[in-house]
Chains A and B, each alone.
Chain A
């Protein structure tokens, strides 16, 4: 395993050194704000990061496993295709932006626009699991895949902010707890789900989350979940209809 101390590199040379390392497992110490870590990696390497990772961690990643012991900033997992990102901390806005495959597991909170425009593609279906709360606009313009927000650090009654699912036309959002009417987008419908029987489809994701961050599955399943899905799959189909002659 190769170990790099980020203090010894400028930003660009660090990215190059990581890229060129032949080792299957690469560890980086003392990160602080370096962008594009693991960006575009098309391999099955394991990247272990310590510190605060900069914007676009794992953007366009296609296969690697990225463990971040610290917090992420904006755009974690931006447009990633495959692999897994596990954050032992919190992340900023637009985590999982346009994500089209793989898994993003966040122990604490996520910022605004979690999973904006994520999509499923052929056999790929991305998943995001957030252990804490997420800001407003979860799943904005969502076109596929699964977003799960657990609110396990329970500072609020519901773990997401307003405008949940705005502009969404496919995919599923699961929220542990209930989503008040005023936080939901017009185009969404909700169902309340209880326990393993109702949650079969996402149990593998929940188990993975529990394993990563040492949570008890019984505790996670002790609360009902709300599933939020789109009512109309073509929400913009009538948008300009009135203007046509």
Chain B
């Protein structure tokens, strides 16, 4: 897989967008493509991608593993490893539409799989920990194989190209989902390549991100102490693992997790709870400018760095919640809105399905922050 940037650099900034139907009604991928395409000028063709929730109801209990392979050898090696650990119900290439706009695509396959009982008991791991460990092993130890997504009833579709072209390539108009997120990439510090496109995922988590994580090395070293292997050459990867660690492994509420990654300045902390979290998880503060959308099967949160160095707009209309880097990306698919607002720094926009209380099964509490909407 080519891991070098293009020769031409175009000044721009990344773009992010999401559309959620809070009732869980599904709609096809043309909406999110139209939304992200409005922000074409923010990316430079070196990365685009989508996360989609609710796309595989026929396999809702299976882990849907989407995997990139550099070549048939890598595929053979990886599949041998997968067979060893999973019962694979279905195995197929991800359907794509070849166009002139998308070049150098890897082999792209998907597997609907369940962990083998004997593997689980041998490893003494819970099912999700087991799947997470397999993903880490493939990404870091099996050369030429990269897990794109590994959740249930969700998938990530991403690659090197403008997001609208990636959407066309992956035939997203043929998928139905109740939650879509999207990203148009303008790589700054790290290479543009298929695995480095957003979203970054682990289990049901997906993250799209505009900005830079200048604390990447600190965050990375901390996460590696807990078994996360950082292998995709992009800072956003640590955000996905940070949420997985804080909320799934440590059991933090969403409110607490936000206060870890986008903590107010020490001088502005006015509650012991925030100070305790800041001390306990100092190495998971995400420093630097960012706007991110983090999604699971239950919904999404969108949040800025604590001093809001990247744009972010949210809007709602009936059952729909929209989030994007620019309001135009929302108006493109929903000209009439009930409410439009800019969240303040560190102040999350939370969108959950009606029957859910948090991003994971543990309920989150109401939020109260120093940040201000405008």
Which residues of A are in contact with B by a Cβ distance under 8 Å?
A: 11, 32-33, 35, 51-52, 54-55, 71, 73-74, 90, 92-93, 109-112, 132-137, 155-156, 160-163, 182
B370: chain A residues at CB < 8 Å are 162
User: Which chain B residue shows the least CB distance to A110?
Assistant: B374
Contact with A along B257-300 (1 / 0, CB 8 A): 00000000000100000000000000000000000000000000
Which residues of B are in contact with A by a Cβ distance under 8 Å?
A: 38-39, 41, 268, 307-308, 311, 313, 326-329, 331-332, 340-342, 344-345, 370-374
CB-based contact A71/B327 at 8 Å: yes
Q: Give bound CA distance, A222 to B370, whole Å.
A: 28
Tell me the minimal C-beta distance from A138 to chain B in angstroms.
10
Interface on chain A toward B: helix, strand, loop, or mixed SS?
loop
CB-based contact A112/B374 at 8 Å: yes
A52: chain B residues at CB < 8 Å are 327-328, 331
CB-based contact B342/A135 at 8 Å: yes
A35: chain B residues at CB < 8 Å are 41
Pick from B38, B313, B340, B372: contact of A156, CB under 8 Å: B372
A133: chain B residues at CB < 8 Å are 372-374
Q: Give bound CA distance, A106 to B114, whole Å.
A: 56
User: Which chain B residue shows the least CB distance to A55?
Assistant: B326
Beyond A134-B374, A136-B371, 20 additional pairs, beta carbon < 8 A: A32-B38, A32-B328, A33-B38, A52-B328, A54-B326, A54-B328, A73-B326, A92-B327, A93-B308, A93-B311, A109-B373, A111-B374, A112-B345, A133-B374, A135-B308, A135-B345, A135-B374, A156-B372, A161-B371, A182-B268
Q: Give bound CA distance, A132 to B341, whole Å.
A: 12
CB-based contact A92/B331 at 8 Å: no
Pick from A73, A132, A155, A162: contact of B328, CB under 8 Å: A73
Q: Give bound CA distance, A156 to B371, whole Å.
A: 12
Pick from A73, A112, A135, A162: contact of B327, CB under 8 Å: A73
Q: Which 6 A-B pairs have CB atoms at the shortest separation, nearest pair first?
A: A33-B328, A161-B372, A135-B374, A112-B308, A32-B328, A111-B342
B39: chain A residues at CB < 8 Å are 33
Tell me the minimal C-beta distance from B312 to chain A in angstroms.
9
User: Which chain A residue shows the least CB distance to B264?
Assistant: A162
CB-based contact A71/B372 at 8 Å: no
User: Which chain A residue shows the least CB distance to B374?
Assistant: A135
Q: Give bound CA distance, A92 to B331, whole Å.
A: 15
Q: Give bound CA distance, A110 to B372, whole Å.
A: 12
A109: chain B residues at CB < 8 Å are 341-342, 373-374
B340: chain A residues at CB < 8 Å are 71, 90
